[in-house]
Structure 1
Amino acid sequence: MLSYLLKEENCFIKESVKDWKEAIHVACESMIEQGYCTQEYEKAIFDSTEQYGPYYVLCENLALIHASNHSGVNETQMAVTLLKNPIKFTQDGYDVRILVTLVAKDKESHMAGIVAVSNIFSDEKKIQTLLDAKDGKEIYRIFSENS
């Protein structure tokens, strides 16, 4: 069940971000504010990106923002941010509009979130429905229906 992993108040729509660093910050902000992780988690994502590149950009429109579960994780939780205007994490990379932030204490507790992301991104109609969402409540409903 996704309800323990994603809360409606962690689903957002934002007009735009100026660069990949702001995208990471926006994607992590609510998780830090609510205590699911610390600034150390966000820093770990920045550090990993500097070292390995944007490994979390999985396909057109989707970035699954995450870092090691050893870096400032307090509790497993997920957040979804929909950008109205896409961002590129590299000059020749995909346009990304959906930032799914995953904070996981272990290797199992976040699997419902992975299932929901897989179910949505394996269907063009579901992706479009998510991209057309009008508010956080609609984003939450789409993820809940696909878990």
Structure 2
Amino acid sequence: MLREFVEKNHYIFVDKIDTWEESIRIGCKPIEADGTVDPRYAEQIIECVKKYGPYIIIIPNVAMPHSQEGAEGVNKTAISFMKVKEAVHFEEGNPEKDANLFFTLASCNPDEHMANMVKLSEMLMNEELVEELLKAEGPEDLLRLQEKYLD
């Protein structure tokens, strides 16, 4: 999966992002660049988080931005990866709702989407891998971690 992010150019590394809304928009950029989604998709995710709260924080330091099935602006099924050096706060004063790692999901094919979710879940269950992803600086680190943990 990490190799796929690099091969498809579905990754971005950022030092600091001022708002959680901006983190959603920036995290969608790699999959906007190749037409997987258009800018409407990021706005839909933002609206969902405003409506339902920070449901996208799945474990400490890890966010999985996504919208509901059939969301506007989704043309393909894919995941993009974003690492933010300085944590993004989704709920002020609640460090449990901070994120540095973002796995943005876009889906227009339920079977591919479920396969992506399974692969991502398995990867995130490896605490050592998550710790190393938090230290990753660029695509070469993603490739190294793919070889170390996932090949």
Deviation of the 1:5 alpha carbon: 6.3
Please report the TM-score for the alignment, with normalisation by the length of structure 2.
Answer: 0.83
What CA distance in whole angstroms lies between the structure 2 residues aligned with 1:143 and 1:74?
A: 27
Residue 96 of structure 1 aligns to a residue whose secondary structure is strand
- RMSD across aligned positions (CA): 2.3
In structure 2, the residue matched to 1:88 is: 89
Structure (1/2) with the larger helix percentage: 2
In structure 2, the partner of 1:122 is 125
Residue of 104, 108, 124 corresponding to 1:105: 108
Distance 2:63 2:4 in 1: 18
Deviation at 1:29, TM superposition (A): 1.3
Distance in 2 between residues matched to 1:114 and 1:5, nearest whole Å: 14
Aligned length: 146
Question: What displacement does 1:96 show?
Answer: 0.7
- Cα deviation, 1:125-145, whole Å, max 9, x if unaligned, reads 111111121212322553575
CA offsets 1:22-48 (integer angstroms, 9 cap, x no match): 110111112122210112211111111
- 1:1-147 maps to which residues of 2 (within 5 A)? 2=1, 6-8=5-7, 9-70=9-70, 71-91=72-92, 92=94, 93-140=96-143, 142=145, 145-146=149-150
User: Which runs of no fewer than 5 residues in structure 1 stay unpaired?
Assistant: none
Deviations 1:52-87 (A, max 9, x none): 112111110110011123221101111100111111
* Structure showing the higher strand proportion among its residues: 1
Q: TM-score, normalised to structure 1's length?
A: 0.85
Where relative contact order (Cα < 8 A, 6+ residues apart) is larger, the structure is 1
Q: Which amino acid counterpart does residue 76 of structure 2 have in structure 1?
A: E
